[in-house]
Amino acid sequence: MPQLRLRIAGAQSTMPLLLNRTTDQRIVYHGTWEQFQLIQKGFDGSPGVRLFYYDGTIEILMPGQDHESFARIIGYLVTTFLVEQGIFFKPTGAMTQEKSGVASAQADESYCIGSIKPIPDLSIEVVFTSGGISKLERYKALGVPEVWFWEDGLLQLYHLRDGSYQSIECSQLPGLSTLDLDVLRRCILMAETDAGEAIRAFRREIEG
């Protein structure tokens, strides 16, 4: 099994990488906020690595090819919808969303809707290595209004209301409430075999 060596608080730690069918590599490590900051510095300039922290748990994720492919197509389709609907947005990608000492996250895709904000309105994660719902606590600590998870061919949406996330059938964000999630899901799955045709089909649906 592959190994990753990290120097944490002056000591070298060796942790196994957990691999699944998509070759995602994921480490879960219990540590302090200060240790997490050292890990952030260690991975500075390493594209593709996602880092997370909440409640003494540090997660390091190195997405595999399938993970990245799904993330890119979801981001492209959501961006296309926002453009076609004339909605003001700022794509913030995998930017670090952070509340010092409390939580830090890097979603696969993220967006500010309506205006630019320090914490995006929407975070999207592709989940291959662990359940999405368990990740909601860190987004709640950050105050992210809406979180979407793509997992096992399903798109699950959660909206932050009265201090907790509620499962929703359609987005509650301005402009995105009219997005047909069935169409989005079909086109995401279609992209596994032909991304170009998936994008064209999505455009036809939202323009029609």
Average pLDDT along the chain, 208 residues, taken 10 residues at a time? 45 41 79 96 86 95 92 97 96 96 96 96 88 84 97 94 96 94 96 95 92
Residue ending a domain, among 62, 80, 96, is 62
- Measure the CA–CA gap between 69 and 47, rounded to whole angstroms: 15
- 43 and 141 Cβ atoms separated by less than 8 Å: no
For residues 116 and 192, state if they share a domain: yes
Other CB atoms within 10 A of residue 112 CB? 18
The predicted pLDDT at position 132 comes to 64
Quick one: pLDDT at residue 101?
96
- pLDDT of the residue at 72: 96
Specify the number of domains making up the chain.
2
Three-class SS state of 51: strand
> What was the pLDDT predicted at 11?
37
Same structural domain, 51 and 72: no
Q: What share of the chain is helix, strand, coil (3-state, %, to 5)?
A: 30, 35, 35
- Name 158's Cβ contacts closer than 8 Å, sequence gap at least 6: 136, 146, 147, 148, 149, 165, 166, 167, 168
Q: How far apart are CA 7 and CA 121, in angstroms?
A: 34
Using an 8 Å Cβ cutoff, are 132 and 156 in contact? yes
Residue with token string 């748990």: 57
- Cβ-Cβ contacts under 8 Å for 200 (sequence gap 6 or more): none
Extract the tokens encoding 49: 């690595």
- State the CATH number of the domain containing residue 145: 3.90.1570
Domain check: are 131 and 33 in the same one?
no
| pTM attached to this predicted model | 0.87
> Which residues span the domain enclosing 32?
3-62
Same domain, 37 and 74: no
pLDDT of 79 reads: 97
If residue 77 lies in a helix (H) or strand (E), which one and from where to where? Answer: helix 65-84
What is the C-alpha separation between 25 and 74, in angstroms, rounded? Answer: 21
Based on the domain organization, do 78 and 44 belong to the same domain?
A: no
